[in-house]
Amino acid sequence: MGRISIARPSWDDEMRQAAITTLDSLRWVKGEQGKAFGHEFADFTGAIHATPCQSGSVALWAALRLLGIGPGDEVLVPSLTYIATATCVSLVGATPIFVDVEPEYWCISLESLERARNEKTKAVIGVHLFGQMYDPEIIEWCKNHSIALIEDAAQAHGGEMHIDGEVKGAGACGDIGCFSFFPSKNMAVGGEGGMLTTTLSSISQRMQSFVNHGRDETLESFEVGSNLRMSEVSAAIGRVQLKRLPSWVKKRNEIAAKYANSFKSLDGISVPKTRPDTTHAWHQYCLIVEKPLEFKAYLDQHDIDARIYYAKPCHHQKVFQNHHQYQQSLHWTDELGPKLVAIPVHHQLSEDDVNRVVEVVNAFTSTTN
Ligand SMILES: Cc1ncc(COP(=O)(O)O)c(C=O)c1O
């Protein structure tokens, strides 16, 4: 009986073959694989264009640059997220303004956005936290206030919103979408990787050239960009992973449903809710746990990985010690951060693994009560 890990990327013969064929072709950069991966990813999400790049972090930085955000501008971000959601704003010389999350779904709260908005607000970065889609009303709110909406979809490959009978994939629920293919994510590319998507025709051409030093087909540079290109091998692996993604997200949803049913009446533990009219991508399955450290240690003793997300929200981290909100309390962010404990939900779990997780979580509550 081995350890049950919190994440494990998939690797199969078709992915291996795609990598080897691409290496053998000696076309290692700027080739057909990257172009095809971008087209296929755009089709999958419903965005009008997608450009592969080197990580989710550079995708966020590029998104802000493409929207012309810089010094003097404020960008509203949740603090209950991975640090890159906030530091990308500092990297372009703008100021991140931290706002609270919703108590029931843990994504950026519309009410807090309304309170934080002022004439310097140029963008919102919404995060589909743990694969939960953010409130669809944020899309309208941003449009109504002429505020750009960057979608941090690093944890939400395969998530969806159902609005008025229309399905919008993660990556098509804002102006620019940013994905990560870090190996722990819902899909990966055999190394570091990311994807930029857009729903704006005015941006797609620039997006494509931004990752290539802002050059056009004559190789003249017309805006400051950088080399953010994804390698052809990564793109070839990503194309195969993308074909598998719907079945993986379905599997994650099945495991989440089993957990919800098994843990619905445990003392000291609450199960996560799914926003109505959305498909949760279940990048992480977090329980709200009253004794998080004991719970994590108990799972560890029983060879099951667990992680606390995010015990120290972004605005309390040293990198923001000179930020005016460093000591400020954000009620739900500070309340939830130390109590959200992720248990394994990834698509590689076997039925035995899932049963073992259910047994051990149940046993924990009987030992503590
Ligand atoms: C919400 C969120 N945003 C951004 C990123 C950054 O992605 P990457 O690690 O590919 O740079 C991550 C990755 O962990 C993330 O979870």
pLDDT per residue as tens digits for the range 282-328: 999 999 999 999 999 999 999 999 999 999 999 999 999 999 999 99
Q: Which two tokens stand for residue 190?
A: 């055999």
Tell me, in angstroms, the distance from the centre of ligand 1 to residue 84's CA.
6
Ligand 1 atom 14: residue of nearest CA: 82
Is any atom of ligand 1 closer than 6 Å to the C-beta of 56? yes
What is the DSSP secondary structure assignment for residue 339, as one 8-state letter? G
Write down the pLDDT at residue 366: 83
Q: In Å, how far from its chain's centre is CA 12?
A: 24
Tell me how far CA of residue 97 lies from CA of 61, 103, 154, 235, 260, in angstroms.
Answer: 16, 19, 20, 35, 34
Tell me how far CA of residue 177 lies from CA of 33, 44, 54, 195, 316, in angstroms.
Answer: 21, 13, 14, 8, 26
Tell me, in angstroms, the distance from the centre of ligand 1 to residue 2's CA.
28
Q: Give CA–CA dist 231/106, Å, rounded.
A: 35
CB-based burial label for 12 (10 Å; 0-12, 13-18, 19+): exposed
Tell me, in angstroms, the distance from the centre of ligand 1 to residue 368's CA.
35
pTM of the model: 0.98
Write down the pLDDT at residue 367: 76
Closest approach atom of ligand 1 to CA 283: 16
Q: Do the beta carbons of residue 63 and residue 150 sit within 8 Å?
A: yes
Higher pLDDT, 165 or 176: 176
Q: Give CA–CA dist 38/28, Å, rounded.
A: 16
pLDDT above 90 for 164: no
Is any atom of ligand 1 closer than 6 Å to the C-beta of 182? yes
Is any atom of ligand 1 closer than 6 Å to the C-beta of 131? no
Write down the pLDDT at residue 168: 97
Q: Which two tokens stand for residue 313?
A: 């929200």
Is any atom of ligand 1 closer than 6 Å to the C-beta of 105? no
Write down the pLDDT at residue 357: 98
Is the CA virtual torsion 12, 17, 22, 26 positive or negative?
A: positive
Is any atom of ligand 1 closer than 6 Å to the C-beta of 63? no
Q: Do the beta carbons of residue 66 and residue 206 sit within 8 Å?
A: yes
Q: pLDDT per residue over 91-134, tens digit each?
A: 999 999 999 999 999 999 999 999 999 999 999 999 999 999 99
Write down the pLDDT at residue 359: 98
Q: pLDDT per residue over 203-240, tens digit each?
A: 999 999 999 999 988 999 999 999 999 999 999 999 99
Q: Give CA–CA dist 134/74, Å, rounded.
A: 20
**284: nearest Cα among 7, 3, 2, 1:** 7
**336: nearest Cα among 265, 273, 254:** 273
Write down the pLDDT at residue 64: 98
Q: At what angle do helices 201-210 and 56-66 cross, to 10 degrees?
A: 130
What is the DSSP secondary structure assignment for residue 47, as one 8-state letter? -
Please count the residues of the chain.
369
290 three-class SS? coil
Q: pLDDT per residue over 231-270, tens digit each?
A: 999 999 999 999 999 999 999 999 999 999 999 999 999 9
Higher pLDDT, 280 or 365: 280
pLDDT above 80 for 369: no
Q: Which two tokens stand for residue 96?
A: 């991140």
55 three-class SS? coil
The best mutation among 180, 181, 310 to test binding of ligand 1, ranked by most ligand atoms within 8 Å of the C-beta, falls on 180
Write down the pLDDT at residue 106: 98
Least confident of 12-26, 87-101, 291-305, 354-368: 354-368
Q: Do the beta carbons of residue 288 and residue 174 sit within 8 Å?
A: no
Write down the pLDDT at residue 1: 76
152-166 average pLDDT score: 95
Q: At a CB cut-off of 8 Å and minimum separation 6, what does 276 contact?
A: none
Q: Give CA–CA dist 343/305, Å, rounded.
A: 7
**179: nearest Cα among 151, 221, 143, 147:** 151
Closest approach atom of ligand 1 to CA 84: 4
Q: Give CA–CA dist 194/182, Å, rounded.
A: 8
Tell me, in angstroms, the distance from the centre of ligand 1 to residue 193's CA.
10
Mean pLDDT of the chain: 97
Tell me, in angstroms, the distance from the centre of ligand 1 to residue 87's CA.
11
- Which pairing describes strands 95-99 and 74-78: parallel, antiparallel, or unpaired? parallel
pLDDT above 70 for 146: yes
Tell me, in angstroms, the distance from the centre of ligand 1 to residue 156's CA.
11
Alpha helices in the chain (DSSP H): 13-25, 32-45, 56-66, 84-91, 110-116, 137-144, 201-210, 232-263, 292-301, 331-336, 351-368
Is any atom of ligand 1 closer than 6 Å to the C-beta of 151? no
Tell me, in angstroms, the distance from the centre of ligand 1 to residue 310's CA.
13
